[in-house]
């Protein structure tokens, strides 16, 4: 299956106590033998399913569907800001839908124990993006605890949310838990981070280096808790 140029990837970031090479070795037996390395920190695995996971139109005949799973794996040895020495790498498991990711995690079986949860401090990413010029904010989803039940959450979209007057007026009332970032030199959104480890981007090989750089940026600033 070949992704459309605008196909989104959604999944989660984890940390792991094994190295990248050991992790990929652990993953291989749980997928088919077709494995592509699409960039320095990115791999694509495939698995077969008798159940359609993308709402495909079925004819009633028995079918075997093949789905890709994109794996991001980054060694953290050179970035030790607040990272425990037991953590060897960051791992992202992404797919064209959450159903694909959920199925991939099930298929990992015991190897899934190598994926440990992490927390991303989205509020701090937002404040850093507003104060500096490395990235611009394209999307925000935030809780509004000061409004009680009258207004529980808000979502904001734009090319540079951090420069808007409305954002600055409301900032103290926002508890941000998902944010999207783009490079100042490129309009399309590059990546989204969520407080629970949400990790989303676009399936575009030419942008993967920039996504990797964004993860390094967040990690280097100490905006992840392990």
By percentage, how much of the chain surpasses pLDDT 90? 80
The pLDDT value given to residue 23: 96
* Band of residue 20 on the pLDDT scale cut at 50, 70, 90: very high
User: Residue range 113-126: average pLDDT?
Assistant: 97
Dihedral angle, C-alpha 53, 55, 57, 59, nearest 10 °:
40
Residues 43, 22: Cα–Cα separation, whole Å: 14
54-63, 95-104, 119-128: least confidently modelled range: 54-63
Q: Whole-model pTM? A: 0.93
66-70, 76-80, 182-186: least confidently modelled range: 76-80
CB 172 within 8 A of CB 2: no
User: Residue range 160-164: average pLDDT?
Assistant: 97
Question: What phi and psi, each to the nearest 5 degrees, are found at residue 103?
Answer: -65, -40
Task: Look up residue 34 and give its two tokens.
Answer: 């077709």
Side-chain-side CA neighbours of residue 62 (13 Å): 0
The pLDDT value given to residue 115: 97
The pLDDT value given to residue 35: 85
The pLDDT value given to residue 57: 82
The pLDDT value given to residue 2: 47
Please give the angle made by the CA atoms of 98, 45 and 15, to the nearest 5 degrees. 65
What mean pLDDT value characterizes the chain? 92
């Amino acid at each position: 299956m070949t992704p459309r140029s605008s196909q989104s990837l959604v999944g989660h970031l984890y940390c792991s106590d094994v190295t990248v090479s050991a992790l990929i070795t652990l993953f291989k037996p749980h997928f088919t033998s077709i494995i592509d390395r699409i960039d320095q920190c990115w791999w694509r695995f495939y698995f077969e399913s008798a159940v359609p996971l993308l709402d495909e139109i079925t004819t009633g005949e028995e079918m075997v569907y093949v789905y890709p799973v994109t794996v991001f794996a980054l060694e953290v040895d050179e970035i030790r800001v607040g990272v425990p020495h037991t953590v060897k790498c960051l791992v992202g498991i992404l797919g064209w839908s959450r159903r694909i990711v959920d199925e991939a995690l099930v298929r990992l079986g015991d190897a899934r124990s190598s994926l440990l949860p992490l927390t991303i401090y989205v509020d701090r990413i937002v404040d850093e993006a507003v104060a500096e010029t490395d990235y611009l904010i394209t999307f925000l989803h935030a809780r509004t605890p000061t409004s009680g039940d009258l207004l529980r959450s808000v979502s904001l979209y734009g090319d540079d949310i951090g420069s808007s007057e409305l954002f600055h007026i409301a900032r103290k009332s926002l508890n941000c838990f998902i944010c999207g970032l783009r490079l100042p030199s490129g309009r399309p959104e590059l990546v989204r981070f969520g407080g629970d480890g949400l990790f989303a981007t676009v399936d575009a090989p030419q942008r993967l280096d920039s996504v990797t750089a964004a993860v390094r940026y967040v990690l280097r600033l100490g905006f992840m808790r392990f």
